[in-house]
Structure 1
Amino acid sequence: MKKHIPNFITLLNVFCGCVATVFAVLNKLEIAAIFVALGIFFDFFDGLAARVLDVKSELGLQLDSLADMITSGLVPGIVMFQLLAMSQTSGWGDGSHFFIESGELKLVHLIPFFGFVITMASGYRLAKFNIDENQTSSFIGLPTPANALLILSLPLILLYQNNDFLNTLILNQWFLILLTVVSAYLLNANLPLFALKFKNTSFKDNAMRYIFIIISLVLIVTMKFMAIPLIILFYVVSSMIQERL
């Protein structure tokens, strides 16, 4: 019975990804972000449950990546689609501005579809991860959940930071296109990044992990949702520093 527990937790990630997809399509990005965060929570604990119960399996590995493809691959692509669409109309709409009505389906803009480059890059990254035996204690390239948090932070910053400069920047199509390209690159870059997996509680063995967690908490408390892009940047930079030490 216990061997099914991690897979059930992974399926909760699938469910959250499906719900987030619905709300992202409806342009309810705040609710989509909540379910993505829940999905990432389950994504963390399915692996933890598998290790604690000692029931790791090939099925679990494949199922985990399929769940991530929805929650951390498809949803960020849809969110970027919505943001790029907003950049074409300079406002927060209800999703109807993508198509002309009166019974015929006609595209108004093609640029928003560029956002699905993130979904494509996520799929490629997850496929590589499944066949790479060198990513057990660390990652090569930005993990899809971290990338999903980066993309989902943008509508939250728009809604809650109340900063005219940030709003203008986030709704700039060239910024969004550049971020999409950078996101796709980081997902598949040959860049070693540490994983938040503690083999013990020793500060000496986990110094970078402890420092990262403490700084991340401070940033979240002081900067709210704006902290998320900074945390991802710090994660990449600190991993590069650790690699050189």
Structure 2
Amino acid sequence: MKKHIPNAITMMNLFSGCVAVAMAFSGNFGAVVVWVLMAAVFDFFDGFAARLLGVSSKMGVELDSLADVVSFGVAPATAVFILLRDFSAYPDFLLPMSTILPYTAFLLPVFSALRLAKFNLDDRQTSSFLGLPTPADALFWISYCYGVQYLSPLNEKICYSTLGFIVIFSLLMVSEIPMFSLKIKKIQFAGNEKQALLVVSMIAFVALWGIIGVAWGILFYIALSIFGNSFGKTKR
């Protein structure tokens, strides 16, 4: 019986992702934030439960990736699609492509699937990541869409930033850039400086700017990973 518990939790991740997709199509970006966050919670606890119960399995790994493609790929991409579909301030030179550009949002689940398949086969990513993790990508997009949904009809710069971020984040997910993990093995500051700095910064960003502060936090995470790695190499 206990071997089915982690998989049941994974299915709750998938269920939450499906509801998030439905909420995105209805234009309820606040609900998308809630359901994707719920999916992230289930995504954390399915692996935790598998390790705690000693019932990790190859099937669980595959189910987890399938659920993640929906919850952290399709769901946020659907929100981006709706954002671009309802956009009314396209620059003049992009107007002929205004019915096509929203579909660029679905590059995100495509690269999320590539990222997850690569992660499952890569034994270098046990304690850290190579490329942007799909949950971090999802958190950026749900908070971004929630934060700019009322500004996008009035500001064509939102169009440029959205399309640019789609390309950048898609490539980041399959890049070889080292990204630190939030997993903390020992409760001490030494060795966990970047994790502590990120948590404090994320809290500050959310306190200052609300939900869109999460997007700023993810950008800070990316910068901290890149420049932290560069600094570490220079120091050595």
Q: For this structure pair, what is the TM-score category when the shorter chain's length is used for normalisation?
A: 0.7 to 0.9
Q: CA deviation at 1:15?
A: 0.5
Aligned to 1:125: 115
Q: CA deviation at 1:202?
A: 2.0
SS at match of 1:204: coil
Where in structure 2 are the equivalents of 1:76-225 lying within 5 Å?
A: 76-87=76-87, 89-90=88-89, 109-158=99-148, 168-169=154-155, 172-225=158-211
Aligned to 1:30: 30
The residue type paired with residue 69 of structure 1 is V
Aligned to 2:95: none
State the distance in 2 between where 1:155 and 1:184 align: 16
| TM-score, structure 2 as length reference | 0.87
> In structure 2, do the counterparts of structure 1 residues 28 and 206 end up closer, same or farther at CA, with 3 Å as the change threshold?
same
Aligned to 1:68: 68
2:11 equivalent to 1:4 = no
SS at match of 1:196: coil
Aligned to 1:39: 39
State the distance in 2 between where 1:242 and 1:176 align: 26
> In structure 2, do the counterparts of structure 1 residues 125 and 80 end up closer, same or farther at CA, with 3 Å as the change threshold?
same
| TM-score, structure 1 as length reference | 0.84
> In structure 2, do the counterparts of structure 1 residues 167 and 197 end up closer, same or farther at CA, with 3 Å as the change threshold?
farther
Deviations 1:46-86 (A, max 9, x none): 12222222322211111111110000011122111111112
Identity %: 35
Aligned to 1:100: none
Q: CA deviation at 1:154?
A: 2.1
Deviations 1:129-150 (A, max 9, x none): 1111111111111111111111
State the distance in 2 between where 1:221 and 1:34 align: 18
State the distance in 2 between where 1:169 and 1:236 align: 26
State the distance in 1 between where 2:176 and 2:67 align: 23
Deviations 1:201-227 (A, max 9, x none): 121132221222122112212221231
Q: CA deviation at 1:167?
A: 7.0
Aligned residues: 225
State the distance in 2 between where 1:75 and 1:63 align: 17
- Choose the corresponding residue for 1:237, options 223, 226, 229: 223
Aligned to 2:214: 228
State the distance in 2 between where 1:126 and 1:55 align: 21
Q: CA deviation at 1:240?
A: 2.2
> In structure 2, do the counterparts of structure 1 residues 90 and 128 end up closer, same or farther at CA, with 3 Å as the change threshold?
same
Q: CA deviation at 1:243?
A: 2.3
Aligned to 1:103: none
Q: CA deviation at 1:175?
A: 2.2
Deviations 1:20-57 (A, max 9, x none): 11121222222122111110111112122222223222
RMSD: 2.3
Aligned partners of 2:89 and 2:153 also within 8 Å: no
Aligned structure 1 segments of 4 or more residues deviating by more than 3 angstroms: 166-172
> In structure 2, do the counterparts of structure 1 residues 198 and 169 end up closer, same or farther at CA, with 3 Å as the change threshold?
farther
State the distance in 2 between where 1:209 and 1:8 align: 30
Aligned to 2:57: 57
